[in-house]
C-alpha cells in the first residue's frame, strides 16, 4: 500500500490519531498554526512549510522569489490565526554545485521579507541536497482573545475574502503579500469567528472551515472577487495559492467590517447548517453543490 | 562561483553578516540554538535540522530510526544549551510512491522519541518530494542562569565529554540518545562555562567553542574515551555524529562534577590562551597541533 492510496489528508488523519499532548497545547496539528500556552495574555503560534525544487518551483524562478515565498507562506499561516510573526528558522538544502548567486538570491528574498514584517531570522540549518529544498518554521504570538481558528464558524456568519482569487500560478503565488497587516486590522477591531488562508483553493479551504466547524455554507457567484489573471470562475473557486484570508464573522460584526473596509474585505456568502453542504448560488439564483477539489500533494 | 567554493561555514558567515534582529533576540544563528526573551525567568530556544535521503540516510535504514534521528539531533541541540525541549514541528517530504509502511515507520520513530522526552509534536507540513526529506524544528525553554553557550569557555576550564567517541557511523549516529537528561543534571547542579554537542567531530566542535570563546585548548590522548566501534584515536577525534555533550567548567566546578559523576562525564583536557591553538598531548607527553577537519556539507 502506498501513501498516494490514502492521500495527503488520509495520512494527516493517520498521524493526528497517534499524537498525544500535554495540557499546554491548546491546538495541535490540523489548523493553520499550532497554539500553545505562553503567558497570561498571549499564546505562542507555530507553523512550518516546506518548498522543494521541481514541486513548488523551478530553477527558472528568480531565487529571491523562492526565498520570499518560503517565508511568506508561513507568515500567511500566522496571520490566519490572528497572530503576529516574530521568529523564524530556515533549513536550506542546496546541491553542491549551486551557484553562489542562487544561494545569495534565496537568502536575500527571505531576509527582505523578514525585514518588511519585522520577523527575526534567528537560526537554521544548511544541508547538502539533490534539489533545492527550503523549510521555514515561524513562531508567532497572538493575544488570547484575538486567536482565530478554523473551527469557530457559526450559522448565519458572513463569509469574507481579503482579495481577488484565481490565476495565482501566473505569478501571484510567488510574490503575494502575506495578509499579516490585514489580519491585525481585523482582530484588533472586530470579533472574527473563524479564519484560514487560501492555499488549497477557495472551495477546499472553505471546506476545511466547514468540517472543523460542523457547518455548511452558501457562496454567491456574483460576489466572488475574480482576479484579472484568473481564467474564470472555476479558477477562482479551485486554484490554490491565492494566500488571501478567508474568514467569517457574525452578521452584526460583518456590517461593521463592510462599513469600515468596503474595498478591502469582500463578503461572498453565509454559513449554513451542516446538512446544507457547500453550495454556489449562480447569477440566476440557481444553487448547486460544489464538488470538493483543489490542490493535494499526493 | 559555486557555494562549494566558499564552503558551508563560508556561506553561514555570509548569511550571518546580513541578518538584523530586534532586542528580544539574545543569540542568533551560530550557536546550537537561537535564544530569545520569553519570561522573567526563562528564555525560549529554537533549533532545526534537515535530513535528506541519500545524504543523511539510505532506504536500507529502518524508517523508525530515520524518524527518531530527525528529532534526536534537534533535542541534542536544545540539551547543548542547557534547555528542555518542549514543542516540535515536523516537515516531511515524501515521494508519491512511498509505501505506507515507510511513512508509518518514520512517524512512529518521531512519536516514540517525542514521548520518551515529553516533547509535543504540535504540527508540521506534508509535501511531495523526490527524496524522503525531514526537517524538524524544536522549541525549548531554559532557565536564564542555566543557559550555556559555545562562547563562555575560560582559560583554566576543564574540558569534559559525556561519553565515548568515534565509530558512530557503524550505528550510533542513528540510534543515539540525545543527552537531554545529562544536560539537565549538569545545569541543575553545576555552573558550566560553555557547551556544544558533538555533531561534526570532537576536534571540529571543540574548535567551535574555542573560536566563539577566543581560546585555545590542550586535550590528552590518554583521557579521550574511545568507543568500542571506533577504528582508533583519529576516528574519535574526527568522525562526526557522536552527539555527546562537550562542555567546559572552572577547575573548581570540574572537581565537583568529577567527584559526583566520575563515570558519566570524562575530563579530557583544559582551556588555554587563544595563541596556544588546539593541541593534543600524546601518551609520551609530546604535544602536537591538531589539524582542523571534520564533517562539512559542501
Distance from the B289 Cα atom to the nearest Cα atom in chain A, whole angstroms: 29
- Which site among B10, B89, B130 would you substitute to test the A interface, given the most A Cβ atoms closer than 10 Å to its Cβ? B89
pLDDT of B7 above 80:
yes
pLDDT of B297 above 90:
no
φ and ψ at residue A148, rounded to 5 degrees: -125, 130
**Predicted pLDDT at B291:** 80
Within a domain: B296: no
Question: CB of A23 within 8 Å of any CB in chain B?
Answer: no
- The domain boundary, picked from A145, A161, A185, lies at A145
pLDDT of B269 above 90:
yes
How far apart are alpha carbons A285 and A279 in whole angstroms? 11
CA geometry: angle B96, A235, A109, nearest 5 deg: 65
Span B164-190, pLDDT tens digits: 999 998 989 999 999 999 999 999 999
Distance from the A1 Cα atom to the nearest Cα atom in chain B, whole angstroms: 6
Q: Quick check: A138 and B137 in contact, CB under 8 A?
A: no
How far apart are alpha carbons A243 and A246 in whole angstroms? 9
Q: Which of B115, B126, B129 sits opposite A20 (nearest CB)?
A: B115
Within a domain: A295: no
* Domain boundaries, position B67: 3-145
Q: Smallest Cα–Cα separation from A54: which of A96, A101, A93, A99?
A: A93
Question: CB of A11 within 8 Å of any CB in chain B?
Answer: yes
- The domain boundary, picked from A92, A112, A145, lies at A145
**Predicted pLDDT at B8:** 86
- The count of other CB atoms within 10 Å of the CB of residue A259 is 8
Within a domain: B298: no
- Within this chain, do residues A38 and A130 fall inside the same structural domain, yes or no? yes
Question: CB of B86 within 8 Å of any CB in chain A?
Answer: yes
Partner-chain contact A15 B107, CB within 8 Å: yes
Chain B 198-227, residues with CB within 8 Å of chain A CB atoms? none
Instruction: Output the CA–CA distances (angstroms, integers) from residue A80 to A69, A98, A194, B208, in the order listed.
Output: 16, 34, 9, 40
ipTM for the predicted complex comes to 0.94
Cα atoms in the 13 Å half-sphere on the side-chain side of B34: 29
Span B201-242, pLDDT tens digits: 999 999 999 999 999 999 999 999 999 999 999 999 998 899
Question: CB of B141 within 8 Å of any CB in chain A?
Answer: no
Strand partners, A152: none
How far apart are alpha carbons A16 and A20 in whole angstroms? 9
Chain B 56-75, residues with CB within 8 Å of chain A CB atoms? 56
- Within this chain, do residues B66 and B183 fall inside the same structural domain, yes or no? no
**Predicted pLDDT at A8:** 86
3-state secondary structure chain A: CEHHHHHHHHHHHHHHHHCCCCCCEEECECECCEEEECCCCEEEEEEEEEEEECCCECCCCCHHHHHHHHHHHHHHHHHHCCCEEEEEEEEEEECCCCEHHHHHHHHHHHHHHHHHCCCEEEEEEEEECCCCEEEEEEEEEEEHHHCCCHHHCCCCCEEEECCCECCHHHCHHHHCCCCHHHHHHHHHHCCCCEEEECCCCHHHHHHHHHHHHCCEEEEEHHHCCECCCCCCHHHHHHCCCCCCEEEEECHHHHHHHHHHCCCCCEEEEEEECHHHCEEEECCCCCEEECCCCCCCCC
Residues of A in contact with B1 (CB under 8 A): 99-101
Task: Please give the model's pTM, rounded to 2 decimal places.
Answer: 0.95
Which residue in chain A has the smallest CA separation from B125?
A49
- Within this chain, do residues B255 and B227 fall inside the same structural domain, yes or no? yes
How far apart are alpha carbons B93 and B50 in whole angstroms? 11
Reading chain A (298 residues) residue by residue, the pLDDT tens digits are: 999 999 888 998 899 999 999 999 999 998 999 999 999 999 999 999 999 999 999 999 999 999 999 999 999 999 999 999 999 999 999 999 999 999 999 999 999 999 999 999 999 999 999 999 999 999 999 999 999 999 999 999 999 999 999 999 898 999 999 999 999 999 999 999 999 999 999 999 999 999 999 999 999 999 999 999 999 999 999 988 999 999 999 999 999 999 999 999 999 999 999 999 999 999 999 999 998 776 666 7
How far apart are alpha carbons A47 and A41 in whole angstroms? 20
For residue B276, give the 3-state DSSP assignment.
helix
Within a domain: B297: no
**Predicted pLDDT at B34:** 98
Q: Which of B21, B33, B128 sits opposite A298 (nearest CB)?
A: B128
- Within this chain, do residues A139 and A120 fall inside the same structural domain, yes or no? yes
Partner-chain contact A98 B2, CB within 8 Å: yes
- Within this chain, do residues B57 and B34 fall inside the same structural domain, yes or no? yes
**Predicted pLDDT at B294:** 64
- Which site among A23, A39, A127 would you substitute to test the B interface, given the most B Cβ atoms closer than 10 Å to its Cβ? A127
Distance from the A3 Cα atom to the nearest Cα atom in chain B, whole angstroms: 5
* Run of H or E including B58: none
How far apart are alpha carbons A154 and A172 in whole angstroms? 31
CA geometry: angle B118, B119, B123, nearest 5 deg: 145
How far apart are alpha carbons B179 and A114 in whole angstroms? 33
Residue with cell 490514502: A6
Within a domain: B294: no
The dihedral formed by the CA atoms of A16, A17, A19 and A24, expressed in degrees to the nearest 10: 80
Residues of A in contact with B3 (CB under 8 A): 94, 96, 98-100, 103
- Which site among A91, A123, A240 would you substitute to test the B interface, given the most B Cβ atoms closer than 10 Å to its Cβ? A123
- Within this chain, do residues A168 and A247 fall inside the same structural domain, yes or no? yes
Residues of A in contact with B117 (CB under 8 A): none
Residues of B in contact with A122 (CB under 8 A): 21, 25, 28-29, 34, 36, 46
Higher pLDDT, B293 or A45: A45
Partner-chain contact B12 A48, CB within 8 Å: no
For chain A, the domain total comes to: 2
Q: Which of A49, A51, A126 sits opposite B297 (nearest CB)?
A: A126
**Predicted pLDDT at A294:** 64
- Within this chain, do residues A116 and A87 fall inside the same structural domain, yes or no? yes
Q: What is the DSSP string of B250-269?
A: -HHHHHHHHHH-TTTSEEEE
How far apart are alpha carbons B258 and B102 in whole angstroms? 44
Give the CATH number, domain containing residue A255: 3.90.650.10
How far apart are alpha carbons A86 and A88 in whole angstroms? 7
Span B34-71, pLDDT tens digits: 999 999 999 999 999 999 999 999 999 999 999 999 99
CA A34 to chain centre: 13
**Predicted pLDDT at A9:** 84
- Within this chain, do residues A258 and A189 fall inside the same structural domain, yes or no? yes
- Within this chain, do residues A12 and A99 fall inside the same structural domain, yes or no? yes
**Predicted pLDDT at A295:** 65
How far apart are alpha carbons A58 and A285 in whole angstroms? 42
Q: Smallest Cα–Cα separation from B124: which of A92, A208, A16?
A: A16
Within a domain: A294: no
- The count of other CB atoms within 10 Å of the CB of residue A274 is 14
How far apart are alpha carbons A45 and A83 in whole angstroms? 7
Give the CATH number, domain containing residue A80: 3.30.1330.10
User: How large is the angle between the packed helices B100-116 and B63-80, nearest 10 degrees?
Assistant: 30
- The domain boundary, picked from B125, B145, B165, lies at B145
- Within this chain, do residues A107 and A166 fall inside the same structural domain, yes or no? no
- Within this chain, do residues B152 and B141 fall inside the same structural domain, yes or no? no
Question: CB of B14 within 8 Å of any CB in chain A?
Answer: yes
Q: End-to-end distance of chain A based on CA atoms, in angstroms?
A: 13
Q: Quick check: B164 and B224 in contact, CB under 8 A?
A: no
Q: How many CB pairs under 8 A join A and B?
A: 230
Within a domain: A157: yes
Within a domain: B164: yes
C-alpha cell at B163: 561519553
For residue B135, give the 3-state DSSP assignment.
strand
Partner-chain contact A130 B130, CB within 8 Å: yes
- Within this chain, do residues B95 and B49 fall inside the same structural domain, yes or no? yes
Amino acid at each position: 500500500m502506498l501513501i498516494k492510496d490514502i492521500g495527503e489528508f488520509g495520512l494527516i488523519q493517520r498521524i493526528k490519531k497517534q499524537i498525544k499532548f500535554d495540557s499546554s497545547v491548546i491546538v495541535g496539528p490540523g489548523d493553520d498554526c499550532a497554539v500553545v500556552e505562553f503567558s497570561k495574555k498571549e499564546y505562542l503560534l507555530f507553523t512550518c512549510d516546506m518548498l522543494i525544487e521541481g514541486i513548488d518551483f523551478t530553477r527558472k524562478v528568480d531565487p529571491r522569489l523562492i526565498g520570499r515565498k518560503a517565508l511568506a507562506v508561513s507568515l500567511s499561516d500566522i496571520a490566519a490565526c490572528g497572530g503576529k510573526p516574530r521568529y523564524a528558522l530556515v533549513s536550506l538544502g542546496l546541491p553542491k554545485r549551486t551557484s553562489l548567486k542562487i544561494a545569495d538570491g534565496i537568502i536575500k528574498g527571505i531576509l527582505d521579507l523578514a525585514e518588511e514584517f519585522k520577523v527575526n531570522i534567528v537560526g537554521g540549518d544548511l544541508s547538502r541536497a539533490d534539489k533545492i529544498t527550503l523549510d521555514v518554521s515561524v513562531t508567532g504570538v497572538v493575544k488570547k482573545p484575538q486567536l482565530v481558528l478554523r473551527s469557530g464558524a457559526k450559522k448565519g456568519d458572513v463569509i469574507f475574502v481579503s482579495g481577488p482569487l484565481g490565476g495565482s500560478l501566473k505569478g501571484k503565488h510567488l510574490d503575494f503579500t502575506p495578509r499579516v497587516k490585514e489580519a491585525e486590522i481585523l482582530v484588533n477591531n472586530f470579533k472574527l469567528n473563524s479564519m484560514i488562508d487560501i492555499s488549497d483553493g477557495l472551495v477546499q479551504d472553505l471546506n476545511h472551515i466547514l468540517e472543523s466547524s460542523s457547518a455548511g455554507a452558501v457562496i454567491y457567484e456574483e460576489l466572488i472577487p475574480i482576479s484579472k489573471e484568473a481564467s474564470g470562475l472555476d479558477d477562482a473557486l479551485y486554484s490554490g495559492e491565492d494566500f488571501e484570508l478567508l474568514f467569517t464573522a457574525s452578521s452584526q460584526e460583518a456590517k461593521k467590517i463592510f462599513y469600515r473596509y468596503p474595498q478591502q474585505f469582500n463578503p461572498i456568502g453565509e454559513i449554513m447548517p451542516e446538512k446544507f453542504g457547500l453550495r454556489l448560488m449562480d447569477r440566476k439564483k440557481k444553487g448547486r453543490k460544489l464538488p470538493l477539489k483543489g490542490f493535494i500533494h499526493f
